[in-house]
Chains A and B, each alone.
Chain A
Amino acid sequence: SQTIHQWPATLVQPVGSPLSLECTVEGTSNPNLYWYRQAAGRGLQLLFYSVGIGQISSEVPQNLSASRPQDRQFILSSKKLLLSDSGFYLCALQGVGNTEAFFGQGTRLTVV
């Protein structure tokens, strides 16, 4: 079965510090991978999605970047965090074909 690992669960980082969130998946090959952010009380905002290694589509211009160095690894990064980067970050995968998406447990990031 498909599983998705996302860590850490919570993270507190100072303004201006770098960020690296990693997401790894199991049980599938060549999945579509997604990064979402959810601000408190708001909906899910699609940040990046990837349909293959090295292929990244950015949805919202911002202080973040994403990379997919391996088929089952998706990384969200920032060189310098802003207060506005605080939120709940979710990684998701969608397998080949019209299948459902699976979401990780999320990382709650607080920039202070």
Chain B
Amino acid sequence: DAKTTQPPSMDCAEGRAANLPCNHSTISGNEYVYWYRQIHSQGPQYIIHGLKNNETNEMASLIITEDRKSSTLILPHATLRDTAVYYCITDDDYKLSFGAGTTVTVRA
């Protein structure tokens, strides 16, 4: 079973920032938080991951709370192509279990 919880869906306006929350209250000290997204009929695509420090790359930013029990993925300027299902997962002894994710719909 997935060890993370996410809202089932959210809408975002094109050009605005999208903030996707994730709860991982049972995360252990050496587990990383990973974010992936899946566009319809394709395999998931890696976005970003982190342990306890905030991370940023060309796709997104990852903010992890100090107690590591939750995190937020930030898409700084959402585009229509960012419409996808976003998954937040933790690596529990190499077992990458995906939950239902958040379906993000970016609207023009």
Contacts and interface: CB of A to CB of B under 8 A. Distances in A.
A32 B85 CA distance: 24
A36 B32 contact: no
A34 B43 contact: no
Contacts of B34: 100-101
Contact of A43 (B41, B46, B95, B99): B99
Interface bin, chain B: 20 to 34
A46 B87 CA distance: 14
Interface string A8-44: 0000000000000000000000001010100000111
Nearest to A101: B96
Nearest to B91: A98
B66 to A, nearest CB: 20
A81 B97 CA distance: 24
